[in-house]
Structure 1
């Protein structure tokens, strides 16, 4: 499979919102339908314009995943469920590491055990915890960081 990672283009907005929605429905079983609708409105109405977005395209030039960053902090990472387990998330994080260097941080929902395991496999370590998410809702967040070291190479992990 030949893929490439490109900067966000507004013409992909609806496709990225769809990827977000399908990924959240599959991976965030702790959210109710009302919770998903609340966050969906945030994503659809501006969240993608508030951060730097990079998109992985498949061989047909269709988005299969995206990562949103603010500096060296990952604010969002979502992969089309049909592409889970194919290295999309790992490649997107590698893109951030290449662009930003240094220490990469991310907050991940504690109840999203799949995502917690994913980040752990890539070498992220917990540096803190919050009882509430960034919207003030009762979904605890783990604060993780990837410490840059001489032998760190995300491309060879997971």
Structure 2
């Protein structure tokens, strides 16, 4: 895909990455309760995600952040794209990068209601290994844990 580069996020990217997360979450998961305010999410990206996690962004045309991926060891903890960028191969590139960065394997959680994400991860070789009632997440939404092993 031309015009989109993946790169490590810096402090200056935190707000734009959080805004991608917010737009994507709201578009993909309209029935899921989001317990944190927009400002809480932006503060979390600024204070925790970007400085303390391996955070990557997809940058379009050298200026706009259109995607974010966060790795925490073998945990693929976030992968969100701006809705207008869905289906353009950026998610595929992020997963390839995640597998390169964690060649021993990856795990992730997604909500059971997020059928497009579940199909996406299954297409990339992830296997569902655990289903929960949501009591362990702050949204209280049933989720599923996926694992990829090479």
The equivalent position to 1:118 in structure 2, one of 99, 117, 120, is: 120
The question of 1:2 aligning with 2:3 is answered: yes
Measured after TM superposition, the shift of residue 81 of structure 1 is: 0.7
Trace 1:32-111 onto structure 2 (pairs within 5 A): 35-36=33-34, 38=36, 40-47=38-45, 48-49=49-50, 50-111=52-113
Residue ranges of structure 1 left out of the alignment (5+ in a row): 149-158
1:28: which partner in 2? 29
Q: What TM-score do you get using the length of structure 2 for normalisation? A: 0.87
5+ long unaligned stretches in structure 2: none
Higher mean displacement: 15-24 or 56-65: 56-65
Greater relative contact order: 1 or 2 (C-alpha under 8 angstroms, separation 6 or more)? Answer: 2
Total equivalences in the alignment: 145
1:97 deviates by 1.0
Cα 1:133–1:10 change in 2 (3 A) is farther
Shift of the 133–51 alpha-carbon distance from structure 1 to 2, 3 Å rule, reads farther
How big is each residue's C-alpha offset from its partner over 1:6-32, in whole Å with a ceiling of 9 and x where there is no partner? 11111111111111111111100222x
Where 1:120 maps in the other structure, the secondary structure is helix
Q: CA RMSD in A?
A: 1.8
